[in-house]
Amino acid sequence: MYDIAKIRADFPILSRSVNGKPLTYLDNGASAQKPQAVIDAISQAYSHEYSNVHRGLHYLSNLMTEQYEGVRGTIARFLGAGSENEIVLNSGTTEGINMVAYGWAMPRLQPGDEIVLSVMEHHANIVPWHFLRERQGVILKWVDVDASGALDPQAVIDAIGPRTRLVAVTHCSNVLGTVVDVKAITKGAHAKGVPVLVDGSQAAVHMPVNVVDIGCDFYAITGHKLYGPSGSGAIYIKSDRMAEMRPFLGGGDMIREVSKDTVTYNDPPMKFEAGTPGIVQTIGLGVALDYMTDIGMENIAAHEASVRDYANARLSGLNWLKVQGSTADKAAIFSFTLNGAAHAHDISTILDKKGVAVRAGHHCAGPLMDFLGVTATCRASFGMYNTKDEVDVLIDALELAHDLFA
Ligand code: PLP
């Protein structure tokens, strides 16, 4: 049984109030709250165990190294990777995708080569490719979604031409909640000899992920959305692709030997991890993933699906509100505008007065906002601890906002 009361009790922040009202935290798409187990692990590490990793021979350094390196295996299991050597630890998705852009794509792509993207990518999966466009004449090819927000895998595959060198798509839209069939896209792209990068920032939070089953070459995740600390994350890189990659950052830890004239590198994945990492953040991420795994990703997905269906039913009863994205299997992420009424920022300010935390703005998805013909939306994004009662709180607050602006 999904023990929602226990899960909620595990997250201390959920029992606080905001503006005199119980907190209704619906900004999980931006960043999720942390369970006590993660908070305790961070406190324990800094209070009793902290030291730098890898380079020390003393007790604490070995202890931290063991814990830190253990997370590589935790992430590999969480993502279904074949080997923990295919996991590069980093600060989050933004770093992971930049690493691929600089380390894999930049040395290989020529002017006129193409990267295929969907129109609903987050800026983290757009701007690194713009760098390549600006600096080396790479062409970005965009694939639209349909009116429901669905991305047709065949449309992505059809966009792949003889000059396409990479497909970079999200597994789940942070704005529409659309879940993308990245397995079908990967199969079609590979049939044309083109690697696939998947931005898993949102998907890995809401559903079981298996990178071997998907077959993709790169899969990026970010710890703070996975109920772990900010500044933690990882990217899965298939070993063949990792062998083709140049290191992106240079510094300590990623080298074997350095002299005045030469440098040799550590074995992958360490070759791609320069400098002192986010040690405690990564340890916290490991605890967060264990926490989710203990509850079960299928159970989390089923709970969120029931909250999503309830939210869908309630929101569709508001004829003055337009929700963007209506695919049946979407994640519980709802971006909406109030017809002819106030700016999303004003709506979110009113919701905040009722203790309801949502996000308002472009959600780092400029091309999608242009495609939808809006400048901003409000976004309510649900996580494993949200309830149908909280949907009701959201609806009441929205009705208040509507009354104020009508
Ligand atoms: N990709 C998607 C789909 C996201 O939602 C986000 C965060 O909002 C990111 C990438 C960037 O993640 P981070 O800022 O943690 O690197």
Regarding whether 372 and 245 lie in a shared domain, the answer is no
Q: How confident is the model at residue 340 (pLDDT cuts 50, 70, 90)?
A: low
pLDDT score of 47: 98
d(CA 58, CA 55) in angstroms, rounded, equals: 9
- For 59, other C-beta atoms within 10 Å of its C-beta total 10
Atom of ligand 1 nearest to the CA of 30: 8
Mutation probe of ligand 1 site: the residue of 97, 221, 222 with most atoms within 8 A of C-beta: 222
* Structure token pair of residue 395: 């609806």
Regarding whether 341 and 258 lie in a shared domain, the answer is no
Regarding whether 329 and 265 lie in a shared domain, the answer is no
Which of 229, 263, 294 finishes a domain?
A: 294
Q: What is the CATH number of the domain that holds 109?
A: 3.40.640.10
DSSP conformational letter for 125: G
Regarding whether 99 and 74 lie in a shared domain, the answer is yes
Q: Tens digit of pLDDT for each residue in 175-187?
A: 999 999 999 999 9
d(CA 1, CA 115) in angstroms, rounded, equals: 44
Regarding whether 321 and 232 lie in a shared domain, the answer is no
pLDDT at residue 80 above 70?
Answer: yes
Q: Which helix (H) or strand (E) holds 402?
A: helix 388-405
Identify the burial level of 290 via C-beta atoms within 10 angstroms of its C-beta, where 0-12 means exposed, 13-18 middle and 19 or more buried. middle
Task: Give, using CA atoms, the residue closest to atom 7 of ligand 1.
Answer: 30
Regarding whether 311 and 267 lie in a shared domain, the answer is no
Q: How many A from CA of 233 to the centre of ligand 1?
A: 11
Atom of ligand 1 nearest to the CA of 233: 15
Mutation probe of ligand 1 site: the residue of 127, 173, 364, 379 with most atoms within 8 A of C-beta: 364
- Dihedral, 49, 53, 56, 58 alpha carbons, nearest 10: 20
Which of 268, 294, 320 finishes a domain?
A: 294
pLDDT score of 55: 78
Q: How many A from CA of 139 to the centre of ligand 1?
A: 23
Regarding whether 317 and 218 lie in a shared domain, the answer is no
Atom of ligand 1 nearest to the CA of 230: 15
Kindly list the protein residues whose Cβ atom lies closer than 6 A to any atom of ligand 1. Answer: 92-94, 122, 124-125, 170, 174, 199, 201-202, 222, 224, 364
State mean pLDDT over 213-226.
98
Regarding whether 358 and 290 lie in a shared domain, the answer is no
pLDDT score of 373: 93
Task: Give, using CA atoms, the residue closest to atom 4 of ligand 1.
Answer: 201
Atom of ligand 1 nearest to the CA of 95: 16
Q: How far is C-alpha 227 from the chain's CA centre?
A: 11
Active site residues per annotation? 364
Question: Where do we find the tokens 């879940």?
Answer: 179
Regarding whether 91 and 226 lie in a shared domain, the answer is yes
pLDDT at residue 209 above 70?
Answer: yes
Q: How confident is the model at residue 342 (pLDDT cuts 50, 70, 90)?
A: confident
* Cβ atoms of 222 and 203 closer than 8 Å: no
d(CA 210, CA 77) in angstroms, rounded, equals: 9
Q: How many A from CA of 97 to the centre of ligand 1?
A: 10
pLDDT at residue 372 above 90?
Answer: yes
pLDDT score of 163: 98
Q: Tens digit of pLDDT for each residue in 373-387?
A: 999 999 999 999 999
Regarding whether 348 and 212 lie in a shared domain, the answer is no
Mutation probe of ligand 1 site: the residue of 28, 117, 122, 175 with most atoms within 8 A of C-beta: 122
Task: Give, using CA atoms, the residue closest to atom 8 of ligand 1.
Answer: 30
Q: Which domain holds residue 75?
A: 39-294
Regarding whether 365 and 275 lie in a shared domain, the answer is no
pLDDT score of 1: 87
pLDDT at residue 142 above 70?
Answer: yes
- pTM score above 0.95: yes
* Structure token pair of residue 168: 């970079």
DSSP conformational letter for 217: S
For residue 9, give the 3-state DSSP assignment: helix
What is the overall mean pLDDT for the chain?
97
Regarding whether 100 and 199 lie in a shared domain, the answer is yes
Q: How confident is the model at residue 341 (pLDDT cuts 50, 70, 90)?
A: low
Q: What is the CATH number of the domain that holds 310?
A: 3.90.1150.10
Which of 233, 263, 294 finishes a domain?
A: 294
d(CA 54, CA 39) in angstroms, rounded, equals: 24
Instruction: Specify the number of domains making up the chain.
Output: 2
